[in-house]
Structure 1
Amino acid sequence: MKVLFVVSEVEDLVKTGGLADVGKALPLALTELGHEVIIVMPYYRQLAEKFNAEDICPKQTLFSGHNAYEFGIKQLDLQGIKVLAIDYAEFFNRKGLYADNYHAYPDNAERFAFFAHAALKTAQTIEFQPDIVHCNDWHTALTPYFVSIDDTGFFAKSRTVFTIHNGAYQGSHAFRDIPYLQPHYQLHSQLDGDALNYVKMGIRYANKINAVSPNYAQELLTPLGSHYLFEEFQRRQSDVSGILNGCDYSQWDPATDPHITQNYQVDNLSGKKACKADIQKEVGLPQKATIPLIGMVCRLTDQKGFGFILPILEQLMQHKVQLAIIGTGDPDISQVLQNIAAKYPTKCAFVEDFSVRKAHMIEAGSDFFLMPSLFEPCGLNQMYSLAYGTLPIVRAVGGLKDTVMDVSEQPEDATGLVFEEPTGAALLSCIQRALLFYHEDKKQFELVVKRAMTTHFTWKQAAKDYLSLYQSVI
């Protein structure tokens, strides 16, 4: 099969979040299974500074009304996969991908409307006629629409798949602020008031809609979990499915991890104890091997469960426990964490920072990993935690529910601790169960740790599932 993979970021090239992980891993896995994948993405300033790629063909032009958009096509290589980057300096030669200092660019809708169309023009230019055009998140959600109105015949046999990585980000903008789309009068019937919602367009025009875990797909079909798009998903219910993301174990393996003080594996966990002492020292907590350490690395946002965490911190600090949180984001959340860390310096550490090294140190050195998300389409940190024998404490939402089995509910398959209700009381109760489990049943605790370390979610399996989805639409 020929797959045109349209995405706004790709790990190893340019990255702001988990979307980039998929942008790299899924095309690689599909290629390893014998299929031809070409990635199309914007040629951001960060890419230009890193690679200084050459144009592979003369400049191309897209017309919209009386406006002409002349752009170049650069070629990069991602472990043997062809990556074509759309070079339109006015839109992509900027400091950030989507924002400058946390302020979203006001013309993001215009930038990515152009990109969604330019991706198709790129495929035509190099005469790559795809069986599947695979689009990802709101940045590329207009591509299925552009396929549907293409009158060249080039995409007559192409089918479109739209993957939702996080339905909370929908790309909703006032239509009058999107000059590129002004000649598309038919879009007036698609507006909510005066706004065009890009994710809605993806849902309406793609042949298949896919979410990044089976449980998240089910949540999108409910009023509560649909991010206010319930009617849209219900209309396309038979075309909505979920495929669990894989995990890149080449980067997340305690046996080979270069970022941790001592490597370890499932049949010899002694290195994990050294990693615990190392992260305790790193964040300024007492180096006590017998005190359970709960780690957390994330963006400081409500999505990550801080609405449940902050109200219970004082109560949690009354227990024999250490808590280490690393992350940046909402300044109000940051202030509360700083206050608690100052009040309980031997029990709580907060590092307002992010680094790959510290993220790996937390995963390796903690006994538990805290991930009580309000919603979580798939989640990767719980997969990393399992690989490192760090038992996840999660809420039963999205991909967390698909990947973590509770020690009480499913003792034979248990890999962590799970709670349901979106409340601080439910979270505190779950953490207390975790602490009791740690202190009172060392033999069973180690058994669950070892089971967690042998629980893998591979991109090869995910790619096979995507191929089945592609075949179903072809």
Structure 2
Amino acid sequence: MRILQVSAEIFPLLKTGGLADIAGALPLALQAQGCDARVLLPGFPAILAGLKDGVRVGSFGTPWGESVEVLFGALPALSTQEHTIYAYVLHAPGLYDRPGNPYEDANKRPYADNHRRFAALGWAAAHLAHGLDPLWRAQLVHSHDWHAALAPACLAVWNAGMGPRVPSVYTIHNLAYQGVFWPQNFGDLGLPGHVFSVQGMEYFGQISFMKAGLSYASHITTVSPTYAREIQTPEQGCGLDGLLRGRASHLSGILNAVDDAVWNPATDVHLQHHYDVRNLTGKARNKAELQAAHGLSVDADVPLFTVVSRLTEQKGLPLVLAGLQEILSRGGQLLVLGNGDTQLEQAFTLQAKAHPSQVAFKLGYDEDLAHRIFAGSDITLVPSRFEPCGLTQMYGMKYGSLPLVRRVGGLADTVTDTDLETLDDQSATGFVFNDFDVQDYRRAIRRAFALYRRRSDWNRVRQTGMRIAFDWASAAQQYTNLYKSLI
């Protein structure tokens, strides 16, 4: 099967969050299942720099009059000895060669023409499914998140009624980020007028790229079974729950996985000291070096809690701040890596200054440091208000850092709470609390301290989590079966 994966970012070339990790790992996993999987990406400088031997395969005109070249080449950074990942990259410097991150300028303001920048991505997918490259034509287009959500709509209206429609899969990575724009931008998208309707991409008088994907995709997936159920409710449906309930027979959850070639404490290139479930000596050394590097007291006997996350309310960071005294009063430590909401950044900065031997804050995102944090920490905090899947709790388990999470979305699907029963049957992997409130969160913190004092039980829970294989084989098989049914 010829499958075209469409996303705005891809690890290790360009990453702002977990989407890039998934976009980078899935094509290889699909190739291992026998698919001819290629990727389509915007021509951001980091992506163009990673494209080897790029050649022009064609071009197309955008609805607003701009010409976009499509380059084809290999991505060595994603390839292995067994499989080469090939990519189509949009070469349009006027759209993609800019400072800041892929979506915002240096002042964290979304680019005013984001609707054009990602409409071009959707139309490119449709062109590649209809012969832009004379040597390869996609049989199915799989697009990820709102940036690629226009692809199903473009495919649906291409020669409408004139022949078989190229099927599409649309994956929701986070329903809260929908790509909503003013209605006056609709004319730039090149879609017929009926698409701007309640049955199409109209969203409370505006246009929503996310809704276009949900309305026109042949099938919708999201990144965990629990989240697939949650988004059909008013509480977590972000105004789209009615549409999702209406498409429930075309909606499923496929749990994300972890790339073992990237996230493995026994082989991780970012670590000074490697270790595995049979010998954890390296983890103790990593912890001591992590504490020293960030000004924390070097002490093997105090639990080190960590956060690696975008700093947003969704991720539960207000709970972390409100419950910080529970950690500090018991002698624990907290290390936070992330950026996002300015008020949260300032709050963590103040806490680090007030408690320099117990709290450290690193502003921004640093891939190398993220790996070292998982390797050196004892507890990974993911107390999210909602969480489609979450990868950090899986990284934590693989690195022997017990996740402390809220029972929601993919967190509920991946972490087993520690209690007498799960200790007895050796299924416990972390700490799970139910309600998004400070009291429930603090109780989970106290339970983490209690288990930490029982070293044999702590080590057994840690080893259980490290042995779980969150590999891509199962997820890729589920996607492959879905593609077959649609093609």
- Give the TM-score range, shorter chain: over 0.9
- Say which is worse superposed, 149-158 or 81-90, in terms of deviation: 149-158
CA distance in 1, matches of 2:151, 2:163: 12
- Alignment map for 1:186-197 (pairs within 5 Å): 186-189=194-197, 190=200, 191-197=202-208
CA distance in 2, matches of 1:220, 1:243: 14
Correspondence list, 1:263-278, <5 A: 263-278=274-289
> Does residue 308 of structure 2 align to residue 279 of structure 1?
no
8 Å Cα contact 2:142-2:168 kept in structure 1: yes
Letter in 2 for 1:186: H
Tell me the residue number matched to 1:324: 335
Q: 1:126 aligns with which of 104, 129, 133?
A: 133
Alpha carbons of structure 1 residues 338 and 60: separation in structure 2 relative to 1, 3 Å: closer
* In structure 2, distance between residues paired with 1:83 and 1:92: 17
CA displacement at 1:152 relative to structure 2: 8.1
Partner of 2:181: 173
Q: Displacement of 1:155 after TM fit? A: 7.3
2:450 corresponds in structure 1 to: 436
Identity fraction in percent: 36
Name the residue aligned to 1:211.
Answer: 222
- What's the CA shift for 1:52? 7.6
- Determine if the alignment matches structure 1 residue 410 to structure 2 residue 416: no
2:404 alignment partner in structure 1: 393
The one of 86, 97, 113 equivalent to 1:93 is 97
For residues 365-411 of structure 1, what are the alpha-carbon distances to aligned partners after superposition, in whole Å with 9 as ceiling and x for unaligned?
11111111111111111111111111110111111111111111633
Whole-Å separation in 2 of the counterparts to 1:220 and 1:227? 8
**Residue identity in the other structure for 1:159:** P
Q: 2-side partners of 1:162 and 1:141: how far apart?
A: 7
The 8 Å contact of residues 176 and 182 in structure 1, kept in 2 or not, is answered as: no
| Equivalent-residue separation in structure 2 for 1:187 and 1:250 (angstroms) | 42
Q: How many angstroms apart in 1 are the aligned matches of 2:381 and 2:269? A: 23
In 2 relative to 1, CA 288–53 (structure 1 residues): closer, same or farther, beyond 3 Å?
same
Aligned partner (choices 73, 77, 98) of residue 74 of structure 2: 77
Alpha-carbon offset, residue 118 of structure 1? 1.8
Distance 1:61 1:388, change over 3 A: closer
Structure 2 residue runs without a partner (length 5+) = none
Counterpart-to-counterpart distance in 1, 2:406 and 2:430: 11
Partner Cα separation in structure 1 for residue 196 and residue 32 of structure 2: 43
Q: Which residue of 1 aligns with 2:22?
A: 22
Which amino acid is 1:70 matched to?
A: S
Shift of 1:178: 4.0
Instruction: Give the Å deviation of 1:467.
Output: 1.2
> Which of residues 151, 158, 173 is equivalent to 2:159?
151
Secondary structure of the corresponding residue to residue 456 of structure 2 = helix
Q: Which residue of 1 aligns with 2:32?
A: 32
Moved more, 163-172 or 403-412: 403-412
Match of 1:103 in 2: 109
**Closer/same/farther in 2, CA of residues 271 and 3 from structure 1, 3 Å limit:** same
Q: Structure 1 residues 338 and 2, CA, compared in 2 at 3 Å: closer, same or farther?
A: same
Q: What is the alpha-carbon distance in structure 2 between the residues aligned to residue 274 and residue 115 of structure 1?
A: 46
Which has the larger displacement, 342-351 or 276-285? 342-351
C-alpha contact 1:110 1:178 (8 A) present in aligned 2: no
Aligned-partner SS, 1:289: coil
Residues 154/443 of structure 1: CA separation in 2 closer, same or farther (3 Å cut): farther
User: Does residue 423 of structure 1 match 2:437?
Assistant: yes
The CA distance in 2 between the partners of 1:364 and 1:37, in whole Å, is 33
> How much has 1:319 moved relative to structure 2?
1.1
CA RMSD of aligned residues (A): 1.9
Q: Aligned partners of 1:168 and 1:104: how far apart in 2?
A: 16
* Paired residue type of 2:422: Q
Task: Output the CA distance in 2 between the equivalents of 1:226 and 1:301.
Answer: 18
- Aligned AA for 1:429? R
Return 5+ residue gaps in structure 1 as ranges. Answer: none
Contact kept in structure 2, 1:222 and 1:230, CA below 8 Å: yes
1:38 is aligned with what amino acid?
R
In structure 2, what residue type is equivalent to 1:177?
Answer: N
SS of match in other structure, 1:304: coil
Q: Distance in 2 between matches of 1:350 and 1:227?
A: 31
TM, length-normalised to structure 1 = 0.94
Mapped to 2, the partners of 1:450 and 1:137 lie a distance apart of 34
Q: What does the per-residue CA deviation read over 1:143-199, in whole Å, with 9 as the maximum and x for residues that have no partner? A: 111111111889725211100011111011112124423662222324234311111
Cα 1:83–1:171, aligned 2, differ >3 Å: closer, same or farther? Answer: same
Partner of 1:402, secondary structure, is helix
Matched-pair contact (CA < 8 Å) for 1:61–1:68: no
| Residues 234-293 of structure 1: CA deviation (Å, up to 9, x unaligned) | 110111100011101111111122322321111111221111111110111111111111
Q: Cα offset for 1:435?
A: 0.3
CA displacement 1:22-49 (0-9 Å, x = unmatched): 1121111111111111211111233334
Is it true that 1:136 corresponds to 2:144 in the alignment?
yes
Give the letter aligned to residue 6 of structure 1: V
* Aligned counterparts of 1:132 and 1:8: Cα–Cα separation in 2: 18
1-structure distance, mates of 2:24, 2:116: 25
**1:449-468 CA distance string (max 9 Å, x none):** 11111011111111001112
Q: Which residue of 2 aligns with 1:161?
A: 169
SS at match of 1:276: helix
Q: Tell me, in whole angstroms, the C-alpha distance in 2 between the residues paired with 1:162 and 1:174.
A: 23
How does 1:284-303 map onto structure 2 within 5 Å? Answer: 284-303=295-314
Query: How far apart are the structure 2 equivalents of 1:41 and 1:301?
Result: 27
Give, as a single letter, the amino acid of the residue that structure 2 aligns with 1:333: L
